[in-house]
Structure 1
């Protein structure tokens, strides 16, 4: 299979390289792009959701028969890119602990009020957002020790606030997309609280889809890349 793995907020394509190497070792082609706003030299405060989506469309322009995965915020990017690409480019979409927007929704529309308040405050101050250590440790990486979390936090980048606040422009809802869809559910993922669950609250917005589940936190690309690679293959298969 030909995989394109799209990172989440405050991350880059480099964060998927452990998983990518395992997939390559199993015989698959893998690309891990870093989208506009998270690249070295970008001014994230100026980047819109449309800019980030367009940068993914550019990556996919010369590719076909792609299994396109988005992690967390990356669900916004893969949804927007699929809607802009010619039919047949994307073989399957995989939403890995990811947001699933309908037309006119933003990421902030899909998170609880305390996250909205935190991101709005950060965005007003700097035009970017990030994740404080207590949230990263307890909610995003609850299956990792403190040293691992601190090392990972040092690798994060300021994320463009507007890519979270902007309403996505789509011609149709993901439930109407004419491709295979999978939702990759992490069983101990509390980056969103139980009252705002990833699955089934967001996964069911895909309409007909394949559910693939595994133990682990929101950040299993780091804490359990071996099992995640196996589950990505399961989610991407015909």
Structure 2
């Protein structure tokens, strides 16, 4: 097996692929291939937003990247809401293409569940609007430079991406290497629940990071190291 890896890093909700920049640069400096797509309707692709954009759209963003870049032996990483995307994308990517799947303080929901089921506060915030507003960085415990960056690069979330329910047949479970990484200071109880659920399972690896939720902004070097361990 080559010691060089191909990473596809999927960002979370209300942000963009730019959030991976420092971590991606560190991985590339070590000779790895890294893709950081921005999902439809967010960031520089905000002009494509609307109720037509749903979880399936985002899964296709990732699956089509893998297809058209002809990626093989891929390390597929999802942060936060990105866990929903990689779960759905795994169903669309040919089996054997993903060698490692990583949930980085990410949603790990089951078939028939949606983000609004796990985080009803976002449903309360959106009402009848087409987009979910960006939350305050203080919600995640951030202030100062990181908070300012989050505010500059945050992006409203197309509402149907949180409303569409996952359709799973077990593709993610068949990926050879599976890792869940918990941010110890994220303050989001659901992620602790996912970690506790997966830790006893011998088919999963689990790690913790002494950071808040957005570890790629807070600790990019440590994030890169965690992803490299998950790739092996």
TM-score scaled by length of structure 1: 0.86
Matched, 1:22 2:26: yes
Partner of 1:5: 9
Partner of 2:55: 49
Partner of 1:234: 229
Q: CA RMSD in A?
A: 2.1
User: 1:99 and 1:19 mapped to 2: Cα distance?
Assistant: 20
Matched, 1:222 2:217: yes
SS in 2 for 1:126: coil
> Residues 30, 205 of structure 1: CA spacing in aligned structure 2 closer, same or farther, 3 A cutoff?
farther
Partner of 2:100: 92
- Extract unaligned runs of 5+ from structure 1: none
Partner of 1:124: 127
Partner of 1:185: 182
Partner of 2:162: 164
Cα deviation, residue 148, structure 1: 2.7
- Extract unaligned runs of 5+ from structure 2: none
Cα deviation, residue 40, structure 1: 3.5
Partner of 1:73: 81
TM-score scaled by length of structure 2: 0.88
- CA contact 1:184–1:212 (8 Å) conserved in 2: yes
Cα deviation, residue 91, structure 1: 0.6
> Residues 203, 97 of structure 1: CA spacing in aligned structure 2 closer, same or farther, 3 A cutoff?
farther
- After the TM superposition, which parts of structure 1 deviate over 6 Å for at least 4 consecutive aligned residues? none
Cα deviation, residue 180, structure 1: 1.2
> Residues 27, 227 of structure 1: CA spacing in aligned structure 2 closer, same or farther, 3 A cutoff?
same
- CA contact 2:195–2:206 (8 Å) conserved in 1: no
Partner of 2:38: 34
